[in-house]
Amino acid sequence: MEIRSLYREPERGAAIAFGALEFHDVFKIYRSGTAETVALRGLELQIEAHELVALFGPSGSGKSTALHLAAALDRPSAGEVRVAGRSLAPLSESELAAHRAREIAIVFQSGNLWSELSARENVSLSLRLAGRHGNVRAAVDHALDAFDLQRREAQRAGALSGGEQQRVAIAAAAAREAPLVLADEPTAELDAHNEKTLLRALRRLRDEFGSTVVVVTHSPRVAAVVDRVVEMRDGAVA
């Protein structure tokens, strides 16, 4: 399959309108020997600031691949990914790492935390790794309080329930005021009660902390409470 790079700088003086996250004709192709799998096929998508958006669709539709590209954990085979108007294409690996620390928080199904550290220590360390050295204690206190974790703050993260661990990861994103939060199937291992609690936490992350939140999900319950559902199929918006 022949594909082309679409990276281009805007013309000098041109008026620019951009979203919090944009995909422009994005392809992602995985190759193994002579075989190739097209995970994304010309994806076009724009997500606005402060939206809570669900990427919804069956396994293999390209949802998680899109999330990994948005998180700068991988690069597209062609096309362009922009975060807050900034193209990721020309950035070096060290620049991408700095971009992730400054602009993006990621919430996975599991493995979000350092299991031997307490909930408070996990949130504090997240701030320091992101280069935040101001009033860390106040930011951590606010985030733990916002997500009802005060009574669990001294508990070792590995001893917390799955739902509590996910809320600690969300609190870490809130404490460092991550503009873009990407959550990959965050409710997949939770029961209905904890799923509902986590969804309230994601909405609070949008409403109180001003983050743009993108959730990859199979769950119709998640899709029912977001601002917008983007259905994906065969590597593109359905």
Q: Does a structural domain hold residue 111?
A: yes
Quote the pLDDT of residue 4: 42
Query: Which range of residues forms the domain containing residue 150?
Result: 21-84+92-237
CATH number, domain of 42, equals 3.40.50.300
Q: Does a structural domain hold residue 133?
A: yes
C-alpha to C-alpha distance for 146 and 142, rounded to whole angstroms: 6
- For the chain, the domain total comes to 1
Q: Does a structural domain hold residue 165?
A: yes
Q: What are phi and psi of 207, to 5 degrees?
A: -75, -45
Q: Does a structural domain hold residue 213?
A: yes
Quote the pLDDT of residue 15: 39
Over the chain (238 residues), the average pLDDT of each successive run of 10 is 41 56 97 92 96 94 96 96 94 93 88 91 91 85 94 94 93 93 91 91 94 93 91 94
Cross-strand bridge partners of residue 212: 180
Quote the pLDDT of residue 18: 64
Q: Does a structural domain hold residue 6?
A: no
Q: Does a structural domain hold residue 4?
A: no
Q: Does a structural domain hold residue 8?
A: no
Q: Does a structural domain hold residue 10?
A: no
